Structures are given as C-alpha cells and as structure tokens.
Amino acid sequence: MKQITKLLFVITVIGLSSCSPKISSNFTNPQPKLSIDEKIALLDIEHKLPESISKIGELRFQDSGFSTDCSFNSLMTQARIEARKNGANIVKVIDKKKPDIWSSCYRLKIELYKYDGNVSSLSQYELKLD
C-alpha cells in the first residue's frame, strides 16, 4: 500500500511540474526586491526602452512539451513576478514566437531592467483580463 501511495505522489508531482512552461533565467545584476506598490512596465517588442537603465537579467520561456497556461498574458504575469523578486521594474520582450503547429505556447526571450524614472509614463503593454 505504501508503494502505491509513493508512486501516485511521484506521478502527481511530475504531472503538475510538466504542465507549466520551462523558465530559464540568468540574473547578472540582481537588485533588492521591489515592494508590491512599485509599478513594473511591460514592454513588448515594438515598445522603446528609456535612456539610463541598468540590465538586471534575462528570462526565457519555452514549451516543456506538456505546457498549459502559456498565453502571452500568463507569461508576462510570470515575468513581472520574477522582475519584482530581482529588483527590475521593466520587463522587455526581445523575441516572441507565437503558438504554431509545433507548440501551443508562446515562447519568449525577455530582458529585465531597472529604471530610476517613472515607468508609468512609458508606452507599454497592458495585460488583458481573461
């Protein structure tokens, strides 16, 4: 009976972890965590970066093969969480692959930056409510 319980637990853990997109990160200049009140700008490919910014790191979202909940909005929300944890207030998409016949997920390359100005004044992507 114990072996069946252990087996079911392992299958559940594998199943749950394989449903999310694979996230790779590289933080070269992490900063103190941002508070929940601080704004984070989400910049898509066409949005311009402001002057005088510091690069904090990079994120890459890829399909794990069994990914779900990997819409553009969902990935940008996850990127915003990672940015806040590492002190970045700009999330900039530098490469975007839309879902196609090979993957049902968006695949993104993102750079994270720290900007000392007002990020609310930047032209940016707005998350859409589901």
Question: What is the pTM for the complete model shown?
Answer: 0.80
At 23, list the tokens. Answer: 């996230």
Asked, for residue 10, whether it belongs to a domain, the answer is: no
Q: Provide the residue-wise pLDDT of the chain in tens; the chain has 130 residues.
A: 566 666 555 555 544 444 567 888 899 998 999 999 999 999 999 999 999 999 999 999 988 766 677 899 999 999 999 999 999 999 999 999 998 888 889 999 999 999 999 999 999 998 876 5
Asked, for residue 67, whether it belongs to a domain, the answer is: yes
Asked, for residue 12, whether it belongs to a domain, the answer is: no
Asked, for residue 104, whether it belongs to a domain, the answer is: yes
Q: 107-115 and 22-27 as β-strands: parallel, antiparallel, unpaired?
A: unpaired
The contacts of residue 103 (CB under 8 Å, 6+ apart) are: 63, 97
**Residue 71 and residue 103: Cα distance in Å, rounded?**
12
What's the domain count of the chain?
A: 1
Asked, for residue 6, whether it belongs to a domain, the answer is: no
Asked, for residue 8, whether it belongs to a domain, the answer is: no
| Residue 69 structural domain | 21-121
